[in-house]
Chains A and B, each alone.
Chain A
Amino acid sequence: MSDYYENYLTIFLFVLVGLGLFGAMIGVARLLQPRRQTAAKLATYECGVEAEGDWWTQQHVRYYVFALLFVVFDIEAAFIFPWATVMGSIADAWAVLVEMFVFIGILVVALAYVMRKGLLRWM
């Protein structure tokens, strides 16, 4: 087993450590806490008065727009990271730089378009 696999096995085992920590603390708390549940206690909390209407309310579509924008730029970031790692070790440095500028430029134009359309105005 190489270093590579050992490192990723470690990451996986630490997921279990996190879950174990969670489970252990919840378990200890369960031993200490009282358990007397009533219908009123299990009702949805809304500042003390009885909950009004359905919780499944409509949310503004702007969240969706921001989520889409986020996906675009997040993927951009995922592409920039490997480029940033190797950009100094490639012989034709200017070509490497210009290529990335074109890539970032297209996204900046898109961001400017979104801004111009007023989608970032949150109204």
Chain B
Amino acid sequence: MTTAGVAPHAGSVLAYDIPWVDFVIPLVVKMLVIALLVPLSALVLGYLFLKLLAHMQSRLGPMEAGGFHGWAQLIADGLKFMQKEDVIPEAADKPAFAMAPAFVLVSVVLVMITIPFGPSLNVIDIDAQVFMALAVASIGTIGVLLAGWSSANKYSLMGGFRAAGQLMAYELPLLLSIVAVVMMAQTMNMQGIISAQGGFELFGTIPIPYVVPQFVAFAVFIVAAQAELSQAPFDMPFAESELVSGYATEYTGFRYLFFFIAEFASNFTMAAIGAVLFLGGWWLPWVPDGVLEVIGPFVLVAKILFLVFVFLWMRSTYPRLREDQLQRFAWKWLIPISLVNIGITGVLKVVW
């Protein structure tokens, strides 16, 4: 975007003419794309979740809806949820209860706009982009706590507390593992981090993404992201078998569905952040920029789907951690490891 829209006599506000072509029209297109991408990514990832988990557990998963391997299952589910009555319990704090899913959804939308999809395909391009992605991602925690608190239900309150405790504990290793990447790239701008990875070469010839030099940070990131997404083995806040879905107990109909849309869409955004920071985003080695301009989004989506597969693989492999094990793992292992990793990265950065 350029500043060409500013008139020569831009002294007064009235002299400002609106930059339609440079700003407004692209922005409206981006708004429509993002507004579609959030539910669409949730649909695709939700379907992948159903099918992958089913096959990993020697089941078939949905097979009927839509004909081919039950591809329309989640669309049917969505339509079903739309027809369900929206019940707000008598005891609940009604405005807070009604708005809690919106917090979660807005948080996902804001994380989604920080992701660059191609060399010149980004919604925003700011210096503190990674920082903003992490900051707005934690707005979701407020929504979850609000949902648990306003439901006026013991199980919801306990689920909300557990969720908030877990999201806080695992946000720190997530942040600290990303600090190491920022140290290597010397920028928080996501396009900058991607081009820094394009210029980072092993033995001066082989370009490698940060997953190789920062493999410790990558491992911490994957585990912490898994916990941030409240997926098994870190699904304590939901724990269907003991907490009747935790903070979402009292939710019905479409408000309930929002938590699932946000869950799968944030699965997508978290994998996208991982793909950008560690796997090089839309970048591929030895491919000229002109080609990446076209295939960039597909490369990014392929990397995202790979990370989503890793998340779901972990989800179907490990049993649920207990609350105390969960907190101990974050505070006694992940945070010290990522702090040591920052130290080593810093020393290597200065020595190099």
Contact = CB atoms under 8 A, between A and B. Distances in A.
Nearest to A42: B90
Prevailing SS type, chain B contact patch:
helix
B319 interface: no
B350 interface: yes
B349 interface: yes
Contacts of A17: 31, 34-35, 109
Contacts of A51: 153
Contacts of A8: 126
Nearest to B349: A88
A73 B172 contact: yes
B325 to A, nearest CB: 9
A3 B23 CA distance: 10
Given A19-B102, A115-B331, A120-B331, A29 B253 contact: yes
B293 interface: no
Interface in A52-108: 55, 57, 59, 63, 66-67, 69-70, 73-74, 77, 80-81, 84-89, 93-94, 97, 100-101, 104, 108
Interface string B176-218: 1001101100111000000000000000000000000000000
A32 B84 CA distance: 8
Contacts of B131: 81
B157 A77 contact: no
| Candidate in A26, A28, A39, A101 with the most chain B CB atoms within 10 angstroms | A26
A66 B171 CA distance: 12
A19 B106 contact: yes
B1 A3 contact: yes
B335 A111 contact: yes
Given A34-B85, A63-B161, 8 more contacts: A17-B31, A25-B258, A36-B85, A41-B87, A66-B168, A67-B164, A111-B335, A111-B336
